[in-house]
Amino acid sequence: MALIEPAILPSVIALPFWFFERHMPLLPALTFTFAFALAAWALRAVTASGALTGLVLATIICLAAGAPGFMAVVALFLLTMLATRFGYARKKQRGTAEREQGRGGRQVLANLGVACITVAPLLYWHARSWMLLVGFTAALAEAAADTVSSEIGQVLSPRRAYLITSYERVDAGTNGAISFAGCMAGLIASGVVAAVCLWLDLLVPRWFWPATLCGFAGMLLDSLLGATLERPGRLGNNSVNFLSSAFSAFVAILLALLGR
pLDDT digits (tens, 9 = 90+) for 76-89: 999 998 988 876 66
Q: Does 17 score more than 50 pLDDT? A: no
The span from the CA of 214 to the CA of 79, in Å, is 18
Q: Does 8 score more than 50 pLDDT? A: no
The span from the CA of 230 to the CA of 223, in Å, is 9
Average predicted confidence (pLDDT) for the chain: 85
Q: Is 177 helix (H, G, I), strand (E, B) or coil?
A: strand
The candidate with the shortest Cα–Cα distance to 178, out of 115, 221, 135, 116, is 221
Count helices and strands (H / E) in the chain: 9, 3
Q: Please tell me the pTM assigned to this model.
A: 0.86
Residue 163: per-residue pLDDT:
87
Mean pLDDT computed over 4-19: 46
What ranges do the domains of the chain cover? 23-258
